Amino acid sequence: MIWYTVKTAKFLYFYTMPVKTSYKENISIALQSIAGNRLRTSLTSLIIAIGIMALVGILTAIEGIRKFTNDAFADLGANSFTIQNKGEGLNFGSGGQHKAYQPLTYDQADRFKKTFKLPVLIAINLNVTGTAVAKYGNQKTNPNISISGSNENYLITAGKKLSFGRSFSASELEHGANVVLIGDEIKTKLFKNEDPVNKSLFIGNNKYRVIGVIASKGSSSFGGDKFCVIPILKAKQIDTARNLSFNMTVKVNGPGALEASIGEATSLFRNVRGLNIANPDDFEITRSDSVQQELSSQLMGITIAGFAIGIITLIGAAIGLMNIMLVSVTERTREIGVRKAIGATPAVIRKQFLMEAIVICLIGGIAGIILGMAAGNGISFLISGGFVIPWGWLIFAILLCTFIGLISGYYPAKKASKLDPVEALRYE
């Protein structure tokens, strides 16, 4: 009898608090109710967590991929464009090029460089191979070193900097000297802590003197830092087996001059190629940011798909939460009757059940954010991306959980607030 009296007193004290309720008290009551139905609450929170995990995980991974592509294309240089043989660029969904076009010769590239009148920097480039081996003493690299030839404007047009040494001199370019700029990874692999400048190494079957080391761009750049650059005429001399096609990178002074420069370059290079007005262009001009923009549009589609998957899952979770709250109202009908009998208003009852639904959603949401961050960054690391915290999407996820709690809890809370206290007290 004494135990029953104490239990009743505790019950009356606890459930009369919300007559003059505060948010802190409502959260306390919600947590007490959740603790009393742990299995049911855990399953509901798990559904919400899965939805949030899908949403945050996919969006985190996409942010990581976007950061990776931004870093990867940063070394293409800002405010620049490339002129190359048609069909050699990246083509998304076009099925590739089937028509063979005449290669861009060195003479055409050199003539273009000398006759282009606008204030730009032009680098003439030639990709020689991507499977070379570099050797120094008894050290050698894997057969994954790319060799390319270029001129004095290579570093500026490619957006690269030197960490050691210097660039090509006019004499070295004119005579096609056996000198080379090496990437940071080659320096680390072959020279360890030595200064490589003015030391000789073999790349393929040719011996070169190192004159500079290009600063690291890291794994985000295409090919990492496993590349070397030689004078353009030397590249032309060592690659005589193929029908060579050169390309040119043109860097303008600012974004405002980019469109005008592209138009002028198109007109001039048509003349260089000997095209009359009836002939279409047989070369491509690609802006440095065009591939990045194409990839960004692809990522936008993936973002929308990921968002849709997460929202669909959360709609299912919202329905489950509403059902749980309706069951909770039914089970606690007598409790609601007691609270109304001692003065709790419908607004207080409604606020308590709404707060309970929001707390359940937030528990699931926080768990989903942690799991989503782990999954998303796991995917980001797989593609050599860095750790990403998409703060905007995390705040959105918290607000979304709160909104789902309000929507799912509104009808059960309204139903609870409208219960007749006399009928509620009779409920068993």
* Gap between the Cα atoms of 391 and 304, Å rounded: 18
φ and ψ at residue 80, rounded to 5 degrees: -135, 165
* Gap between the Cα atoms of 76 and 157, Å rounded: 7
CA 340 to chain centre: 53
The proportion of the chain whose per-residue pLDDT surpasses 70, expressed as a percent, equals 82
Averaged pLDDT of the chain: 81
pLDDT score recorded for residue 411 = 85
pLDDT at 226 over 50: yes
Q: How confident is the model at residue 345 (pLDDT cuts 50, 70, 90)?
A: confident
Residues in the chain: 428
pLDDT at 115 over 90: yes
Residue 33 near residue 375, CB atoms below 8 Å: no
Residue 390 near residue 60, CB atoms below 8 Å: yes
* Gap between the Cα atoms of 304 and 167, Å rounded: 46
Q: pTM above 0.75?
A: no
Residue 353 near residue 396, CB atoms below 8 Å: no
* Gap between the Cα atoms of 428 and 419, Å rounded: 14
Q: Return the SS3 of 107.
A: helix
pLDDT at 220 over 70: no
Residue 285 near residue 190, CB atoms below 8 Å: no
Residue corresponding to tokens 């290579």:
154
Q: How confident is the model at residue 309 (pLDDT cuts 50, 70, 90)?
A: confident
Residue 261 near residue 250, CB atoms below 8 Å: yes
* Gap between the Cα atoms of 186 and 229, Å rounded: 12
Q: How confident is the model at residue 21 (pLDDT cuts 50, 70, 90)?
A: low
Q: Which range in 176-190, 211-225, 317-331 is most confidently predicted, on average pLDDT?
A: 176-190
pLDDT score recorded for residue 28 = 75
pLDDT score recorded for residue 402 = 85
